[in-house]
Amino acid sequence: MPYMLVNLTALALVFGSLASAVRWLTGGRPPLVLRPLVRRAQAWRAARRPVPEPIPPVLLALELSRLASHVRYVEQSNHPNKAERLMAARLAYDHALRDYCRAVDIPVPTAIRGLSREQRFHMESALIGAGHDW
């Protein structure tokens, strides 16, 4: 009888640990017991990570120009899956546009997906108004 109680307790601990690990993997929050250790590991990793060099705005302007011509090419082409290609090209253009605006200290909207036409227009207008061209 006592062995059965010990076995059930061990089994409950194992399943509890597995449930906690699954919650950690899906939700991103570690178990309460491991949080200090995880924070220390993240701080150690952040301290060892090199600081990336900023990309010069001239290179970002060249990339933006290349992506703008690619968007125009995809719009005029007759390739299969045109909608997916156009969406991917616009997302890449929006990402490069955000990077360029951040590099020259122009405010960037916090859109998770692509930018709306209005947001894109305002960012491009702000870049042109600040004297930048691509």
Structure confidence by residue, pLDDT tens digits, 10-20 = 888 888 888 88
3-state secondary structure of 113: coil
Structure confidence by residue, pLDDT tens digits, 21-43 = 888 878 778 888 888 988 999 89
In this predicted structure, the answer to whether residue 111 has a pLDDT above a threshold of 90 is no
Spatial contact of 43 and 37, defined as CB atoms under 8 Å apart: no
DSSP state at residue 81? S
Task: Please name the residues in contact with 76: beta carbons below 8 A apart, sequence gap of 6 or more.
Answer: none
* Res. 1 pLDDT band, cuts 50 70 90: low
Whole-angstrom Cα distance, residue 133 to residue 130?
Answer: 9
> Mean per-residue pLDDT for 111-115?
79
- Rg, Å, the chain Cα set: 25
Nearest to 99 by CA among 54, 65, 129: 54
pTM of the model: 0.64
